[in-house]
Chains A and B, each alone.
Chain A
C-alpha cells in the first residue's frame, strides 16, 4: 500500500518529513528510541505543536516529567504548548503522592487499571489527532511481566488507532532495558543518537512506506529539532545543457578546450599560495558577468583576507556579492556535520539558483566538517553537483612546494571529472608558477603547461611552455638554449 503525500502527517520537522517521504502515516503508532538526552521530548514538542498549527488536537501524555516541568521546558524553547492537552501520569502527580506503599497485590494490578482508565477517559474527551507518550517504558514498571506489558501497549495502541490518533511514543532503551518488544509492535521506529561530536536520527522501520535510510544529522536549536537529511545523489536529476563555463582568461579556456562543463567537478590542485582560489574566483567573476551565481565555501581562510586578496587582483568580490551573484560562506571548524553542510549547499542550489559551487579547500573540509565518512559524503556531494548541472570547483592543497609531481595527497582525484594542477618551477634560479590540465573527462585538453601569474590586473597565463623538459620534476630545462625567458610570459 502506498500512501500519498497529502495524507501524511507532518512531524513539524522539515528534514524528518523528507526522510519519511512526506511524513508519518496517520492513525498508527511510532516508536521514538534513544537514550536520555538525545532529544526525544523536544522532537515530541515539534510534533504536537505542528498539530495545533494545523488545527489538530494534540495530547501530551507524560509518565516521566510532571506537566508543569514539561511546559516550562517547552517554553524555554519558545514552543507554544497552550493548545496542547496534557495528561500527567508522572510519579509526582497527585495520584501517586496519595498512595501509601503496599505489597499485597502487584502494583500493576492496583495502579495500571486506573492509569488505563485515565488514558481512555482523557482520549475520549480530547479526541486527539496526535498523541505523544513520554515515556511508555514507565508502564513496564507497573506491569507484572513482559507479556502483560506487551498486551498493555498493544491494547493501548489499538485503542488509539480506533480513536484515529497518531501516536508517537518514546522509549529509553539501554542495554539493561532493551526495547525489542516495542520495536516489534510499532508501525515505525525513529532512533535518536547523540555522541559528544554529533547528533543523528535514523528511521529504522516504517510500515507501508519507503524512507531515506541511514543516519542523518540532527541539531537541537533554540527553536526545536532540525534534521539534515543525507544527500542521496540519485534522487536529483535536474536537466541541464552541456554548456561550458569560461574562465574569462583566454589561455585557460584554450587549455581546457573551451572551459569547464556544467555538471562536472573540477579539482584545482597545487601547493599553498599558487593561485588555486584566485582562479576559482576568476571563474566566479566571469559567471557573475553573465548573471550566474556562485557560492564559495571557505574552510581555510578569513573572509576579509579573501576580500582584500581578490581586490588586489582585480576581482570585485563586494560588487559581485551586492549583485547577488556571489556568496562567500566561511565555515568554522567543527561548526557543521557533513549532512548539515550538504543541506546548506542544497539550499543554495535549489533555492538560490546557484550555478557554480566552490569548495575551498577539500583539506579544510576534511578538517572542519564533522562526520564519520567524509569521503563518502564528499563523493555524494559531487554526484549531486553533476546531477544538478552545477559546475563545481574543489581546491586541494598538496604539501610539497616543488619536487616530484604529485597530483594530490588524497585520493580525491578519483572523484573529480577534471583536474587542473598548479605548481612551482625553478627556472634559472627564479620561482615561477605553472598551470596544466591533468585530466578532463568530457573533452580533450591541452597537454602542455603554461606559465601562470597573478598580477594586479588579474590572472595572466602565458603560451604553452613547449620547449621545456622535465617540468614535472620541478626543475625543468630549456630544450633549445636560445629560447628566451619572455616566451613564457609573452
Chain B
C-alpha cells in the first residue's frame, strides 16, 4: 500500500510538529506548511496529496483564499479552529471544509476522521 500524503498547515510550529508526528506515527506522510508562502509553493508544485488539515489560527484572511484554492484542486480538507465559534465554522464550511475540528483535538477521533476521509 502506498503511503498517503497529508498536507498539514499550521502557523504554530509546535502544533505543526505534533500533528505531523502524530500522522507519521500512524503511517502517513506529512507535508507541512507553517506559512502562506510555503503553502503556496506546495500548492504550485501540484504534488500528490490526499487530503489537508488546516489550523487557521494565527493566519490572516488570506488563508481562506488558499482554502478555496485547495477545494478547487479537489483536495478534501478539515479546518482546525481554536474554539467553538459558529462564525468560523460557517465560514469554514462555506469554504468547502469537510468538517471543523475544535482544539484540543482528540487523537483517536482525529485518526478516525482521517481514515474515513481517505476511504480506508
> Which residues does A use to contact B, with CB under 8 Å?
99-106, 109-110
Contacts and interface: CB of A to CB of B under 8 A. Distances in A.
Contact of B15 (A99, A104, A106, A109): A104
A102 B13 CA distance: 8
B93 interface: no
B105 interface: yes
A149 to B, nearest CB: 16
A101 B106 contact: no
B107 A104 contact: no
Interface in B5-35: 10, 12-15, 18-19, 22
A103 B103 contact: yes
B58 to A, nearest CB: 11
Contacts of A101: 14
Contacts of B15: 102-104
A477 to B, nearest CB: 96
Contacts of B14: 99-102
B12 A105 contact: no
B76 interface: no
Ordered nearest first, which 3 A-B pairs have the shortest CB separation?
A104-B15, A102-B14, A106-B104
Main SS of chain A's interface residues? Answer: loop
7 contacts: A102-B15, A103-B82, A103-B104, A104-B10, A104-B15, A105-B104, A105-B107
A457 B107 CA distance: 93
Contacts of B104: 103-106, 109
Interface in B83-120: 103-107
A104 B103 contact: yes
Nearest to A108: B104
B79 interface: no
A79 B12 CA distance: 46
A101 B14 CA distance: 7
Contacts, number: 35
Given A100-B14, A104-B19, A106-B104, 19 more contacts: A99-B14, A100-B13, A101-B14, A102-B14, A102-B15, A103-B12, A103-B15, A103-B82, A103-B103, A104-B10, A104-B12, A104-B18, A104-B55, A104-B80, A104-B104, A105-B18, A105-B22, A106-B105, A110-B18
Interface residues of B, number: 16
A3 B10 CA distance: 59
A480 to B, nearest CB: 103
Main SS of chain B's interface residues? Answer: mixed
B106 A106 contact: yes
Interface of B: 10, 12-15, 18-19, 22, 55, 80, 82, 103-107
Nearest to B16: A104
B105 A104 contact: yes
A105 B15 CA distance: 8
A177 B83 CA distance: 26
Contacts of B107: 105, 109
Nearest to B19: A104
Q: Which of A100, A103, A109, A110 has the most CB of B within 10 A?
A: A103
Nearest to B104: A106
A109 B106 CA distance: 8
A99 B19 CA distance: 15
Contacts of B55: 104
Contact of A102 (B12, B80, B82, B106): B12
Contacts of A106: 104-106
A103 B19 CA distance: 11
Contacts of B19: 104
A106 B10 CA distance: 16
Contacts of A104: 10, 12, 15, 18-19, 55, 80, 103-105
B16 to A, nearest CB: 8
Nearest to A99: B14
Contacts of A102: 12, 14-15, 18
A179 B82 CA distance: 31
A104 B63 CA distance: 18
